[in-house]
Structure 1
Amino acid sequence: MLEVKLHDIGEGMTEGEILHYLVKPGDEVKTDQPLVEVQTDKMVAELPSPAAGIVKEIIVEAGTTVQVGTTLLYIEAEGSAQAAPEQPKQPEEPSTAPVAEKQESRPFVSSFNRVLATPYTRKIARDHNIDIEQVLPSDPSGRVTEEDVYRFLEQKKAPAIAVAEKPAASTAPAASQPTEAPEEIPFRGLRKQIAKKMTKSLYTIPHVTHFDEVNMTNLMKLREELKVAGQSVSVTAFFVKALVIALKDFPIFNAELDEENEKILLKKNYNIGLAVDTEDGLIVAVVHDADKKSIKELHQDIKRLNEQARAGQLSSKDMKGSTFTISNVGPLGSTGATPIINYPETALVAFHKTKKVPIVNEQDEIVIGHMMNLSMSFDHRVADGGTAVAFTNRFAGLIEQPNTLMLEMI
């Protein structure tokens, strides 16, 4: 009998929450077939079967948080079952049982044809008792989305609504309507892990938030010129490049405080975390070695990470090792915030909405320009306000004069 245990999936994890079993006792499974979905502090992972066989028993219930090394279920591997002792043969009698009854006693065999869907989408389907394999995907890739599940749910409700009888008219006074119970949302999984990390950061780090604004006019003009030349580059790629240059000038913000050993560790790698808003919650994807990449390479990396984060396809490597994090909430319409630092980093910068406003240029003329707000939260144990202002001034200078940014890369 094989024990399937919760093991470290490569992130140095110590515990995980059992979200959902993909099999049940009696199911026949294949080697590497997903058995269970587990929520770590950063991602949802599927634990595969170590061998082909039959699921005999599930030990830990879904919704339980357990330590690494805990046995979750037992599998009887192929060829491992002990042969039952031979019984004396009885005289054969004609069987009157239909063939169908004999077939029903055979163990259930899992098809192992899993549709593409994020764990959050699967959860919605489970909450509404929907077999997700019956849902038709609208995405050309074949991935079932949250909208597909809700559409399927509405289609199931439609026939029942169509045939419902109209209630008879009543002359009796209407009874008072009972108060509806509030809708409950389980506080677990990624939402709970985000809460733990945010709480730890806020109660460990004395946050200070510094606000500033950046003139984006020249950068917007440069991006338009690049588009005409057939090169589309995201604003975030320019932000990352400018931040790396500013971090090299102010390494205190690319650092981590080691309180136990009373040291501030200045990191030599420049791994920029990207806060991505996904169906499952806030995920930080990481652009590794951003200082060694061109703006075009950064653009390609950022695009890939955003797409994979929203599709639930990030690897564990893509979600760890960040030294400084940014949050580009401008496309959502934000004008300001006091962001919480991605512990144990020293600072985080949020970029807000870029707006057309009247500004005064160097010739004292009033012109229309593009202005963006930013907010920078930093660890006041490690850095001071004056250093934070100097850092954002350096960043703003590079963005406001993108030609200077190009010179810095030579």
Structure 2
Amino acid sequence: MTSTITLAPDASVLPISLADIEMAARAIEGAVIRTPCLRSQTLSDLTGADVWLKFENLQFTAAYKERGALNKLLSLTPEERARGVIAASAGNHAQGLAYGAKRLGIPATIVMPRFTPVVKVQQTESHGANVVMFGEKFEDAAGHAHELAAKRGFVFVHPFDDPLVMAGQGTVGLEMLDAVPDLDTLVVPIGGGGLISGIATVAKARNPKIDVIGVQAELYPSMYAFLKGETSVCDGDTLAEGIAVKTPGKLTSQVVRALVDDIVLVGERDLETAVAMLLNIEKTVVEGAGAAGLAALLAHPRRFRGTKVGLVLCGGNIDTRLLANVLLRELARSGRLARLRIRLKDRPGQLFEVARIFDQQQVNILEVYHQRVFTNLPAKGLITDIECETRDRDHLNRLVEALRAASYEVRMVELD
């Protein structure tokens, strides 16, 4: 189920301005990649919108986070640099801060929850950071990071609720509107709100009529619920872990309330489909949070149809095993991969006859599972599961019809 909330404008004084973001752009110029913003012909045809993609997954750390981290680091005094910096993060902020700190010769400590995937720990350590594993949840790691900052004098760098970090992230919006000034709509993932705060500040200063739309995962609707005055339940395993934030920032909430026009929620299936589409169509790898903008177009097609829309592919740090799982699940949903459960009689030649039908229908058999014991069928009953590869859903349906025409009892083992 998907939802939207329309937000009212607010004329209050905000923590960042266009001038702050332009200053950040000058500060980090040449130190981060000015990533391309390109039109997707195929996604435009599929969604009915004029779709432009900002490839922030092409940054050195594969995410936009190094923009805000670097802008913050460049603001530190010599004395603060000598003391070093600390952050709590299980993902892209950790790598962005560690990478920027290494380039500037600033000691960096990153506190990560114990559940953090080994690959992310290794990537953060590869940038020279001292990684401290603490706690089962992000909140535990964040609390420990604040304790270490107070005890050892480190400068704490917040992942989103800091004006300098927000301004650095806003440079994404500057580049998008420099490349495509006539965008009607910007669709931006929301976790803590740093990225959308910066982008909305740029967008509304340049064109007050532009729509700025935030996207959150249904399992973590923290900003959505905050702005509706509701209590949100944020829990569960979401593909978009990069925006799985339980408590939005205080500063970012002010900007979102004032400048963001709408927030939409997207489900896990749309996130999975978006990740697969971006790889198959654009040949680009994105994480779940990076695909959230496209997921919004898939979940709310009428909302965006006919508009010139910019999507931020905010990160590409996805575990390869998880990516493989997402791609295989999408193949199954489209009918190109299937598992058929077929009831056979316990007599010679039955499996051969089934295989012959697969051959006649030109369907490739990948795996065969023969089950005689763990079944509630009679002792002479037999179930065979066959995993197969077809061209599309129609091809799969023709195979099932052919099996049933040969008097076999068959059903598809479906994904949820």
When the two structures are superposed, what TM-score results if normalisation uses the length of structure 1?
A: 0.23
Q: Normalized per residue, which structure has more strand?
A: 1
Compare CA radii of gyration and give the structure with the larger one.
1
The structure whose RCO (Cα within 8 Å, separation 6+) is larger is 2
